[in-house]
Structure 1
Amino acid sequence: MPTSDRHELTKDEARRIIVRAQLLDAERPGDVVEVAEQLGAVKIDPTSVIAPCEHTVLWSRIGYAYEPGQLKDVTERDRLLFEFDGAFRPIGLLPLMLPAMRRWPHRASTAEWLEANGAFRQDVLDRLRGEGPLLAKDIPDTARVSRPPDGWSGANQVPTMLDFLSRQGLVAVAGREGRNRRWDLAERVYPADLPDLEFDEAESLLNERRLGATGLARQKSPWTPVGQAGVPAVIEGSTATWRVDPEALAALAEEDDGGRVAFLNPYDGLLFDRPRLREIFDFEYVLEQFKPKAQRRYGFFAHPILFGDRFVGMLDARLDAAARLLRVDAVHEFFPFDDDEREIVGAEIAELARWLGVEVAEA
């Protein structure tokens, strides 16, 4: 039940808070670093039906001014972002993450594998120290104990060891050659003068950053863990207790700018918390990438269409690089668009094609 110490929000207000926190309102951010600082993570995924996830996430926020080379520059040259656990993150988050990294691993099976492969672990560190940065393929697999292939990793144990060492803060991604990561010792990639925080302080600060990036989260959400960050809130129609970012709450007093249209990559962070999508946006999102073709309703990798603070449809489109075309197979409308809505969505499709440097071809 709502009480005096909980902020009461309408669903409209909740959506506005979330959309603003994700930088999808009408006021676009200026650059890659600004996006990463606010979102906390820019997901990396190689699926490239239109463009890889990291690039469409940034384009959907920044717009036409975003160029893919900017991400490489701020990560590899300027070191303002770093790559960790499948995402680009702002370097300011690293001190908040290091205390947890020093406690990793948590699973006994992982700790046992690392202990059994102590010599292999040292081989990898020694080779990086002497020859790094290196691609995984350039490092010999000297593992004594192997983990079986799991669908994500193969028989070669080097990628697994590098991943585990990165989670311990000992190695880091120094850059990329295409989609392949170049690895080096973390001490040569990460800044040397980072503040040293205690675990509890770092976790509290991380919770605040997570809440700032999402705007609003269930207090006990496994999808968006925020602990006691922010202030409690209740939302019309929901019996749960939520946590809301105080700055986002204060911004509700500002005039609503009306929003804009955005096409969201299926791995966009706004889509991650499926229960919140369902409860706040009335949007039951299902990624159809892994469904048999006959069971797909909207397409293999259709992009949800956000119009203002509501999901209005799905864009089923693909880049045909050879023909220099953005092939729009369908724009699925959850409810029939009026003429203005259809024109605005069409203009955003044209803008997407212009950013890709191709023409639009509609089915």
Structure 2
Amino acid sequence: MTHRLTREQARRIVVRAQLLDAARPGDAVEVGEQLGYIKIDPTATIAPCEHTVLWSRIGWSYEPGQLQKAVEIDRLLFEFDGAFRPVSLLPLMLPSMRRWPRRESSRAWLDANHGFRDDVLARLRAEGPLLAAQIPDTSQVSRAPDGWSGSNQVPHMLEFLMRRGEVAITGREGRHRRWDLAERVYPQDLPEYEEDEAAHLLAERRLQAAGIAKHRSPWSQVGEAGESAAVEGSKWKFRIDPEALAALDDEDDGGRVALLTPYDSLLSDRPRLSEIFEFDYVLEQFKPKGQRKYGYFAHPILMGDRFVGMLDAEVDRAHDVLRVNALHEFLPFEPEEQEMVRAEIADLAEWLGVAVTGMP
């Protein structure tokens, strides 16, 4: 059976799945459990990505220390591959991690640096947790510089061993990661899964976070999870989370305004964003200044289940202000809409501990 939805219903399912409806989650762990990951990125024209993602869901009660506590003390979230993820996903990830790497060139580099690997593990066992800078580079074979890292091979080895589940990130000092043996960071009583079962359960979790996603999309990777669905006006074949579908007719508290960092998970599946929300989003961060329409790191503005504009703003810590460079309206705001957007910007500034300047 194929479930048939209107675009409005599809958008509502996505917004709810992404915790951007009126019913706000309680804490960072609840957000991580539902979204599956909270991306980490240092670009902070307003605030670092991981904190903006959480503030846009939780609101005024979120404090950055809550995320650190969940990762470093409570161990309910863990850092892996540029994101904070719920520990409940770890047992589903371990089967494929144990088979990593699959690329021949990566296997060859790891094999050629067997002694280097042993040195890193021994150093962590004896002295960990450590920053990468505290571990000597004893590599036998070097990887070519990739534009992101220098000649030091320690960060490469740590990344490789993290992907294999041998080491883990135990916390951070500023933006620098602290590393330790995985057995001292991850829980040791995790359930075991065969790789096929784990892959299927991971697909179900991805669909839970998406709500509805294109069948066989490389962006969402939901596979055969969920049930078949079609969306009015779209030729795509979709998969839908049965629980999200069942909740579609639940009482709705209405929408709200959300200011989304450009690396927000709702924006990551650009084709779905265009197909369901009719929003063709382009990140202008890497465009020359003269080619930007909305701004270097403009934040999309979600109102209910529609994208209504872009906020180009930046924090000026020297003057303790959130400077609004431009507020782009896709269609002219109604007075009530204008008031809602201004209120959300004011709430953002209050959360940041600064005043607002330049508000149109």
TM range (shorter): over 0.9
- 1:252 aligned residue: 248
- 2:258 aligned residue: 262
Counterpart residue type for residue 243 of structure 2 = E
Q: How far off its partner does 1:190 sit?
A: 0.3
User: Which whole-Å CA distance do the structure 2 matches of 1:142 and 1:13 have between them?
Assistant: 57
TM-score, length-scaled by structure 2: 0.99
Q: Does 1:47 align with 2:43?
A: yes
- 1:236 aligned residue: 232
- 2:302 aligned residue: 306
Q: Does 1:185 align with 2:184?
A: no
- Aligned residue for 1:103, secondary structure, equals coil
- 2:168 aligned residue: 172
User: Which whole-Å CA distance do the structure 1 matches of 2:134 and 2:339 have between them?
Assistant: 51
User: Which whole-Å CA distance do the structure 1 matches of 2:105 and 2:213 have between them?
Assistant: 32
Counterpart residue type for residue 227 of structure 1 = G
- Aligned residue for 2:98, secondary structure, equals helix
User: Which whole-Å CA distance do the structure 1 matches of 2:76 and 2:349 have between them?
Assistant: 29
Identity %: 70
Moved over 6 A (4+): none
Counterpart residue type for residue 230 of structure 1 = G
- 2:276 aligned residue: 280
Q: Where does the alignment leave 5 or more consecutive residues of structure 2 unmatched? A: none
Q: Does 1:330 align with 2:326?
A: yes
Q: 2:191 aligns with which of 189, 195, 198?
A: 195
User: Which whole-Å CA distance do the structure 2 matches of 1:337 and 1:195 have between them?
Assistant: 51
Q: 1:19 aligns with which of 7, 15, 22?
A: 15
Alignment of 1:1-363 (within 5 A): 5-362=1-358
How many residues are matched? 359
**CA deviation digits over 1:303-340, x for unaligned, max 9?**
00000001000000001111110000011001110111
User: Which whole-Å CA distance do the structure 1 matches of 2:75 and 2:253 have between them?
Assistant: 34
Q: How far off its partner does 1:256 sit?
A: 2.8
Between 248-257 and 21-30, the greater mean CA deviation after superposition: 248-257
Counterpart residue type for residue 146 of structure 1 = S
Q: How far off its partner does 1:150 sit?
A: 1.1
Question: In angstroms, what is the RMSD of aligned CA positions?
Answer: 0.7
User: Which whole-Å CA distance do the structure 1 matches of 2:134 and 2:330 have between them?
Assistant: 50
User: Which whole-Å CA distance do the structure 2 matches of 1:353 and 1:42 have between them?
Assistant: 22
Q: How far off its partner does 1:149 sit?
A: 1.3
Q: Where does the alignment leave 5 or more consecutive residues of structure 1 unmatched? A: none
- Aligned residue for 2:347, secondary structure, equals helix
User: Which whole-Å CA distance do the structure 1 matches of 2:224 and 2:278 have between them?
Assistant: 26
**CA deviation digits over 1:158-192, x for unaligned, max 9?**
11110010000000001100000000000000011
Counterpart residue type for residue 131 of structure 2 = L
User: Which whole-Å CA distance do the structure 1 matches of 2:243 and 2:215 have between them?
Assistant: 17
Q: How far off its partner does 1:254 sit?
A: 1.2
Counterpart residue type for residue 120 of structure 2 = V
TM-score, length-scaled by structure 1: 0.98
